[in-house]
Amino acid sequence: MKSAVLIVVAALLLAGCSSSKQVTRLDPGSQTDLSGNWNDTDSRLVAEEMINDALSRPWLGNFREAQNRKPVVTVGRIRNNSSEHIDTETFTKDFERELLNSGQIRFVAAPEQRMDIRSERQDQADWASEETKKMLRDELGADYILLGTLSSITDQEGDKQVIFYTTDLELIDIQTNEKVWMGNKKIKKGISRGSTTW
């Protein structure tokens, strides 16, 4: 009985050794589509194109002319209404990065980040020296908030599948609730299996 157990364990160890894993480092900027689902390339391209569109529209010039300063923007919730699990935080970070790096606006922390920052200021109020503590209730208020949704439709027949993604963003004046910009970006992917081609 003991020898039978040893034979089974040895066989399992040999089987585990024979199926080796290979890891290849890829360029983070490269386009890689394995499943056809939403991926980092889609997120980056959508963010770049939509933010470039937003920053080229009249709302920005109108604000600068009326206020004589750069507008202050924050990114709110980007809802995932697609059929896939998509990390919307990564998606949101892509939008934040494009907005901030444009140099055309000022940018404040997202709503969930502000709670952590307020907690830190409260802690400083109790424990930091007078010279170094940061004041409570002295935040820079945002003029606009960017909100949006990501949706998908999947159509499949046999070995062919089409996934249609649409991203809708809206830039809203926080004081008046006026929508000053609306953007839409669509991505359509054709996926085929086996010898089926498009």
> Which residue segment(s) compose the domain that 67 sits in?
36-192
Report the relative pairing of strands 144-157 and 106-107 from DSSP bridges. Answer: unpaired
For residue 12, being part of any structural domain is answered with no
Tell me, what CATH number does 134's domain have?
3.40.50.10610
For residue 135, being part of any structural domain is answered with yes
The predicted pLDDT at position 1 comes to 60
Q: CA 63, CA 56: separation in Å to the nearest integer?
A: 13
Q: Which two tokens stand for residue 56?
A: 């080229």
For residue 147, being part of any structural domain is answered with yes
Please return the burial class of 171, using the count of CB atoms within 10 Å of its CB with bins 0-12, 13-18 and 19+: buried
For residue 76, being part of any structural domain is answered with yes
For residue 51, being part of any structural domain is answered with yes
For residue 26, being part of any structural domain is answered with no
- Residues of the chain below pLDDT 50: none
For residue 19, being part of any structural domain is answered with no
- Taking the model in full, what pTM does it have? 0.81
Q: Which amino acid is at 92?
A: T
Q: How many domains is the chain built from?
A: 1
DSSP 140: P
Nearest to 186 by CA among 82, 95, 89: 82
The predicted pLDDT at position 28 comes to 72
DSSP 61-79: HHHHHHHSS--EEEEEEEE
The predicted pLDDT at position 15 comes to 58
